[in-house]
Amino acid sequence: MVCVVGHKNPDTDSICSAIVMAYFLDATPGRQGELNPETKYVLEKFGVPEPKYVDSAKGRELVLVDHADPSQTFSDLDKGELVCIIDHHKNGITTSKPILHISKPLGSTATVIAEFYFNNGMHLLGAKNKELTPQMAGLLLAAILSDTVVFRSPTTTEVDKEMAEKLAKIAGIDDIEAFGKELLKAKSVVAKKPAAEMLTTDYKEFDMNGRKVGIGQVEVVDFSDVEPKVDELLRVMKEKQEKEGYELIVFAITDVLNKGSKVLVVGNREAFEKAFNTKLDEKGTTYLEGVMSRKKQLVPPLEEYFKKV
């Protein structure tokens, strides 16, 4: 049986894209970690069960969605059989055999899937001839809204908006913006959680030229929820950095309405300052105007920097 699975510390795009692709492939959806509150809210809303937890690639045929980075997936990936990747990130996985790899610079993996569906191209992904049900359309819509922060992130494309409109019609959702606000509200629950949980809820690890870098993010509608926790967050980050051998850990508290991030940095602070041409305060924090996307705005300058040192 083929297993369709998104990245570790799954977000709504990873989970919903896995469920929908599993539906089309007659496969089993999986998850590599606990669901965040937003994703739980979405699955409940559309009455879809949580995918099963999968901790190993061994003996499995795998379709990976929403990631193509070895540090964000099974450590024993080579023990499974990777058949396909559907994604919207840059590729970091090498395979010994050719595989089907679809990656498009769109706002979410769900957008990539929706685009194939509406262009009658699902068979190109090896999928069965099936209709998108209102339930499945709702999951894809939620994933697009989540990844693009309701079209506010600079990763948003026209295709994301176009697909969201089409999906909303099938899902029976009249007001996309209002549905998006529901998601933001469910997501912002994370900001009220203890620092350690907040740090790891939406957290990705990267290998940057041999250096282990972690980047976490929380999206808030109101900074004041998180402000009192900054010191505790920095302490938890420092602990994690030392214990797990990170060169650098960055945590972005993203204000989705004012479009900017307060960034907390531990470890090689000089690397961060040089990469972003900024100064951190004594604590190791700064505000980056206009920065909302980890993939587009936080990862590239750091990778660029570590390439040179």
User: According to the binding rule CB under 5 A, does residue 87 interact with Mn ion?
Assistant: no
> How near is the Cβ of 109 to Mn ion at its closest, in Å?
5
In whole angstroms, the minimum distance from the beta carbon of 87 to Mn ion comes to: 8
Q: By CB under 5 A, which span of 109-117, 132-140, 271-279, 283-291 interacts with Mn ion?
A: 109-117
Residue 273 main-chain phi, psi, to 5 deg: -60, -40
Note the Cα 209 to chain centre separation in Å: 22
Given candidates 38, 66, 69, 115, which one binds Mn ion under the rule CB under 5 A?
66
* Cα 277 to Cα 144, 259, 274, 285, 286, distances in angstroms: 31, 19, 5, 14, 11
Among 21-29, 101-109, 128-136, 149-157, which window interacts with Mn ion (CB under 5 A)? 101-109
User: Which position among 147, 202, 205, 219 is part of the footprint of Mn ion (CB under 5 A)?
Assistant: 147
Please answer whether residues 3 and 28 qualify as being in contact, where contact means their C-beta atoms are separated by less than 8 angstroms: yes
Comparing CA positions, the residue from 251, 183, 192 lying closest to residue 226 is: 192
Region near Mn ion per CB under 5 A, out of 18-26, 41-49, 140-148, 151-159: 140-148
Exposed/middle/buried for 191, CB within 10 Å: 0-12, 13-18, 19+? buried
Nearest approach, Cβ of 190 to Mn ion (angstroms)? 17
We find the least distance from the C-beta atom of residue 244 to Mn ion, in angstroms, to be: 24
Which of these ranges, 69-77, 78-86, 106-114, 122-130, lies near Mn ion under the rule CB under 5 A? 106-114
Structure tokens at 5: 């699975």
Tell me the pairing of strands 260-267 and 285-289: antiparallel
Do the beta carbons of residue 103 and residue 94 sit within 8 Å?
no
Quick one: CA dihedral 43, 49, 55, 61, positive or negative?
Answer: negative
13 binds Mn ion (CB under 5 A): yes
Site for Mn ion in 237-266 (CB under 5 A): none
For Mn ion, the closer of residues 108 and 293 by Cβ is: 108
Q: Which is nearer to Mn ion, 180 or 267 (CB)?
A: 180
Stretch that binds Mn ion, among 29-37, 102-110, 229-237, 297-305 (CB under 5 A): 102-110
Interface with Mn ion, residue 202, by CB under 5 A? no
Which residues in 113-145 are b (16+ Cβ under 10 Å) and which e? bbbbbeeeebeebebeeeebeebbbbbbbbbbb
Chain positions contacting Mn ion, by CB under 5 A: 13, 66, 108-109, 147
